[in-house]
Amino acid sequence: MALDTRPDSLVVLTRPFGQNEGLRQTLSQRGLSTLVLPAIQIAEPPALIGQPDPAHFDLVVFVSSHASRYFLKAWQASGRADHWPAHTLAATVGEGSAQPLYACARVPPEQIVHPSTGTAQDSEALLALLEEPLRQIKRALIVRGQDGREWLGEQLEMRGIQVQRHVAYIRAPYVWPDSSIEELKVRQSGKGLIWVLTSSHSVEAVHAQLLERDLQMYWKGAQFVVIHERIASRLQSLLKPSSDTDANQIRVCTPGDPSILQAVLSLASARNCQGLQSRHD
């Protein structure tokens, strides 16, 4: 059923290209206008970065779906990918990051470890799951972008585990073309903005681009959906200079399209109720 009272909201989806379509279609079916403005772009690293062999490690941790997807692609192209080594756990910080592993027939599902749906999807939750296996682990590989949070690697090192970091993909800000900016201006007219931001890098990239183009009006007074408290904290730190911003503008949900959908609908509904109240006052 379409959400017939939502023409005054425009939802901006900022995940990289190719990751927004399912959510965009669902939101449109619920009566919400959407606009895809990727915050970052993902690319393969230079060929000079060698491909580690998972057989050399007791644990391989993938920090995102990009990490697992690009690592598996390079591993399968290396000629050493007959099967995932039996002694190596494949761990991810969330269920979404594990999907490329489950889709790869060479990785046994029983060797994949990640926090379950409905629980925290982060490094802290993963470490709690690994406490028992870590007693047998001597070498670990963390697969990530060119930079990232060091907390998990440091925790493993504190337990005497030898940790290696591997860059499986390169993350860079995506520069919006002028046509996308014009579309934002036209479609936002008379509507409230709801930004969906799924990483701290995305928050910073969007904020920097809006500042550079003198488009702060599309940030101040907007509403935001984020998938972790750390992202919310980073966002709040950038919003603080705005006097017309409060914590109620940020909705934190778990990763995954169903949770993001519900968070967006909740913000849109609250905004609509406020609009109706204002018109009756």
- First-to-final CA distance of the chain: 30
Rg, the chain, Cα only: 21
- Report yes or no on 205 lying in a domain: yes
Of 73 and 242, more confident: 73
In whole angstroms, give the CA distance from residue 130 to residue 14.
Answer: 32
Domain range for 118: 43-171
CA-wise closest residue to 225 among 13, 40, 35: 13
Q: What is the pLDDT of residue 117?
A: 80
pLDDT band at 252, cuts 50/70/90?
very high
Q: Pick from 171, 192, 210: which residue ends a domain? A: 171
Q: Is 140 helix (H, G, I), strand (E, B) or coil?
A: strand
Six-digit token string for 261:
């959908």
Domain count, the chain: 2
What sign does the dihedral 161-167-169-171 (CA atoms) show?
Answer: positive
Do 71 and 108 reside in the same domain of the chain? yes
pLDDT of residue 5: 42
Percent of the chain with pLDDT over 90: 68
Average pLDDT, rounded, for the chain? 88
With bands split at pLDDT 50, 70 and 90, how would you rate the model's confidence at 269? confident
Let me know if residue 126 belongs to a domain.
yes
- Same-domain status, 226 and 160: no
Quick one: 230 and 192 in the same domain?
yes
The tokens 């230079």 sit on which residue? Answer: 46
Is residue 3 situated within a structural domain?
Answer: no
The string of pLDDT tens digits covering residues 213-249 is 999 889 888 999 999 999 999 999 988 765 455 556 8
Q: What is the pLDDT of residue 267?
A: 92
- The residue among 211, 267, 276 whose CA lies nearest residue 9 is 267
The answer to whether residues 197 and 203 touch, using CB atoms and an 8 Å cutoff, is yes
Same domain? For 48 and 165 the reply is: yes
Is 231 within the bounds of a domain?
yes
User: Mean per-residue pLDDT for 56-84?
Assistant: 90
